[in-house]
Amino acid sequence: MRTMTTRRGLSSVLLGGCLASILADGARAQTPSRAATLYKDPECGCCEGYGAYLGQNGFRVTVVPTNDLAQINQQHGVPAGLEGCHLTVIDPVSRPLAPFAPAEPFDFTAMVPLQLHATLHGHVHERTILDSMKAVLIGGAPVSLALEEQLQRVPAPLYHTYGMTETVSHVALRRLNGPQRSDRFVPFAEVRLGLDARGCLTITSALTRGELLYTNDLVEFHADGSFRWLGRIDNVINSGGVKVHIEQVERAIEAWLMHYQGGGYAERRFFVGPLAHPRLGHAVVAVIEGELDGQEVIEAPAFTMALRTSLQQALTSYEIPRQVYFVPQLCETPTGKIDRGANLQRLTTQHPGLP
């Protein structure tokens, strides 16, 4: 049984480590030499052969015999039922399955949504490897509705994780595909959850050393102990005295984009944020990356009207974006996430007269 994860362990994947790009060409990717660490049972002979196989396929392999393989698997977030005689740890890349042969038998891996999206749109052999896995964990960022719909065609069990740096690894899972698909996270048995005075999630578990951990995540609890993630408390816009949760607005826009013009905008990157407003204090606006109908525009009155009309049943008048802007490219943080503040500052600096 073989397990693959990224260097620095599962937590780096779940928290969105910086990703490099690789390209697949044919059944195997012709990539520059990449580092891989192979942790193995000292008594196992097949592991050395597998290390040689990796070396023949573009990896610089460091073999580490260890009697603490169970502990190393745990540190990298490998489920107990999927442990094997060795563990391969590689540096984070956008398409981690590209260098491997189509018949390469991996039982488990962990990816961020960007990696999973790239794998689904990569070479056919990457999809073959993914489909045959027994479990795949996805974390580090929200999973878009467009990606989640694509995942319904993947037979392997896919799980979205909930966790953070302070918990070392994930503390809850939700199924992304198949009959057990759900929008609720289910905590592990030893994890105790609660709400603080702000309505934010609190966590107590062995991973927090029994201490109460306060988060900035707003959640909705259900009677069975599961919870639905609503967004971050620091991602709230005060518009006319009404608190608008950014993630909920983005989710509604995302659902609309999936069907607008036949889904042609479904995978467009965008964000929701606040712009100064003389009456409301702050108005809710949406900023979308790319062109509109093949033209470079900033404001899009007809598009904005269509969006506002369609969202009236899903959102309140304060939550519906008052304006939609298009920009050629969105600013990103060092970890590749959309930088709301930097994008809004650039937008207002370059176009000071925007309403």
* In the block, residue with structure tokens 């984009």: 257
Q: What is the pLDDT of residues 136-160, one digit of tens each?
A: 999 888 898 989 999 999 999 999 9
220 pLDDT tier (thresholds 50, 70, 90): very high
Of 339 and 38, the one with more pLDDT: 339
- Domains of the chain, by residue range, sit at 2-141, 186-232, 236-350
Nearest Cα to Cα of residue 43 among 9, 80, 69, 76: 69
Q: Two tokens at 76?
A: 């990298």
**CATH code for 236-350?**
3.30.300.30
E strand map for the chain? 2-6, 34-40, 59-65, 86-90, 108-111, 135-138, 158-163, 170-175, 186-187, 192-195, 200-204, 213-221, 227-232, 236-239, 242-245, 270-277, 281-289, 323-327
Give per-residue pLDDT as tens, 312-338: 999 999 999 999 999 999 999 987 789
Query: Considering the entire predicted model, what is its pTM?
Result: 0.72
Structure tokens, 329: 């490219």
| Alpha-carbon span 330 to 221, nearest angstrom | 34
% of residues, the chain, pLDDT over 90:
53
Mean pLDDT over residues 187-198, rounded? 93
